[in-house]
Amino acid sequence: MGNEGEHNAFLVQGKQVLFVDKYVKKGKNCRIRILSCILFSLFFFTGVECYAQSSAMRKKAVENKDSIMPFKSRLAFKTNAVDWLVLLPNITAEFDLFGSPYKHYTLSLGIKGNWSTSQNYKPSIVYNLFDTRLEFRNYFRTTQRNFHHLDSASFFQRLKEEVFTIKRFHPRYWRAYYWGVYADYANYNFKFGKRGMQGSALRLGVSGGFSIPLYGYRDNFVDLELGASVGLVYTKYDAYRHDEESNCYPRLPEKSKGGHLVPFPVVSDLRVAFVYRFSTSVKNKYKLIDYDKINARTEAKRQKQLRRDSISEARTKIRELKKLQKDSLNLAKDSLSQIKDSLKKQEKLMKDSLEQVRKLDKEQAKLMKDSLEQVQKLEKEQTKLMKDSLENAAKEEKKRSKEKKKDKKQEEGVETPEIKEQSPDEQQPVQEKQSTESESSDPQTVTPQSSGIREDNPEITNEGGEE
């Protein structure tokens, strides 16, 4: 892709698209950014070196010559053969952040890219890339494992002990392993088919691998580094096509895309790199271990574990106490509920008994009332009967008295022709005598004597009459 942007514009719907000029401006800005990154890295490395050569570090170096690394041995340069195979020249500078041989942290800055040349025609295949990368690393080595308890361990335990720890049954002491995080910025322009893409990308991710010694000559050494990087990509690009008639690359707005995050991890780098080091090889670097620090770390870990154990024991005791309290509360609630149930049952029984008593009282009162009514009825009937009997007796007595009077009159008329009227004083004792006799006699029965008298009197009268 050439640099004659003004002559290579293409008309799309009557509007001029300065697609190539845009790319040229982006390329210029990218180069300025790369230069500023390089200057910043050099300034950063100088500041780190000044920090490493502070008074405290120098005092420690006087006491122990091996306590600080020289500046030359902290610097390394590397190039990736895989990028060279895909026609991407590259170089990376790596620097140890700390002068102490016990701290295995590095910072690296890498640049890779190819450049476009000026030409009279626009090629159908475009392959342009310029990338800068900043990476932080931690180097470590594996150690010997002295126990074989993993034979009966689970899959996750074996994965944890064999992959995510540095202890191995057969450690490779000549290897220096590393892991790191990186960030890079790239400008790209690719066209291998009918459609091309031109844009920029920001990538963040992790990297890992190992380095082994390859060649040594006096104080200079060449190491071999193997590894890979994977991460997330945020990108935006313009799509275009190749027009041979107009010798231009017209933009395709419907295929272009703004800033977006790629929804899957992307392998950004595969490394088969050659590393040039001064003074020492990777075989002898990153070996020293600060056992005092490790012991302090293990002691802190042990103290932390003790605190965790004490906290867990206290929590278990608290849980047990809470459980006991809960159980006691449940028992108390159960007993209270039982008492409430018994009280409810007793109350219900009392209510039922009271209702039964009330019912019985009502029934007894009703029976008493009915009996009293019956007694009153019987008394009324008896009094009525007595009254009737007395009236009948009085009527019969009157009748008898009348008949007696008639009989007497008849007797007196026969014996004495002159009838002598009795005075009221003489009649009164006779009436009293008759009333006493009637009261003493039964009202419903008549004595045979009275009847006999009544039967005899006519005979006497008759006889008297005949006389």
Which of 289, 314, 346 is the last residue in one of the domains? 289
What's the whole-number average pLDDT of the chain? Answer: 76
Q: Dihedral of the CA atoms 5, 31, 240, 6 (nearest 10)?
A: -10
φ/ψ of residue 178, rounded to 5: -150, 155
**Top-confidence residue, 28 or 72:** 72
- Examine the domain organization and report whether 26 and 124 are in the same domain: yes
- Examine the domain organization and report whether 283 and 373 are in the same domain: no
Which of 289, 309, 332 is the last residue in one of the domains? 289
Global pTM reads: 0.54
- Examine the domain organization and report whether 264 and 388 are in the same domain: no
Tell whether 98 is covered by a domain: yes
Instruction: Decide if pLDDT at 400 tops 90.
Output: no
* Strand 167-168 versus strand 143-144 pairing type: parallel
Least confident of 75-79, 225-229, 288-292: 288-292
Which of 289, 319, 350 is the last residue in one of the domains? 289
Confidence band for 421, pLDDT divided at 50, 70 and 90: very low
- Examine the domain organization and report whether 157 and 268 are in the same domain: yes
Distance CA 66, CA 74 (A): 14
Instruction: Decide if pLDDT at 108 tops 70.
Output: yes
Instruction: Decide if pLDDT at 52 tops 80.
Output: no
pLDDT 10s digits, 330-339: 899 888 889 9
pLDDT 10s digits, 282-330: 888 888 777 777 788 788 888 999 999 999 999 999 999 999 988 998 8
- Examine the domain organization and report whether 122 and 264 are in the same domain: yes
Long-range CB contacts for residues 8-14, cutoff 8 Å, separation at least 24: 8/122, 8/247, 8/248, 8/249, 9/248, 10/243, 10/246, 10/248, 10/249, 10/250, 10/251, 12/250, 12/251
**In the block, residue with structure tokens 């271990």:** 289
Domain count, the chain: 2
Tell whether 383 is covered by a domain: yes
Tell whether 296 is covered by a domain: no
Tell whether 359 is covered by a domain: no
Distance CA 84, CA 271 (A): 11
- Examine the domain organization and report whether 282 and 410 are in the same domain: no
Confidence band for 29, pLDDT divided at 50, 70 and 90: low
Tell whether 94 is covered by a domain: yes
**In the block, residue with structure tokens 């019985």:** 360
Q: What burial class does residue 203 get, using C-beta atoms within 10 Å of its C-beta: 0-12 exposed, 13-18 middle, 19+ buried? A: buried
Tell whether 1 is covered by a domain: no
Tell whether 182 is covered by a domain: yes
pLDDT 10s digits, 150-189: 566 677 776 666 666 766 666 777 889 999 999 999 999 9
Tell whether 356 is covered by a domain: no
Straight-line distance from the first to the last Cα atom of the chain, in angstroms, rounded to the nearest whole number: 197
Q: Which domain holds residue 195?
A: 6-289
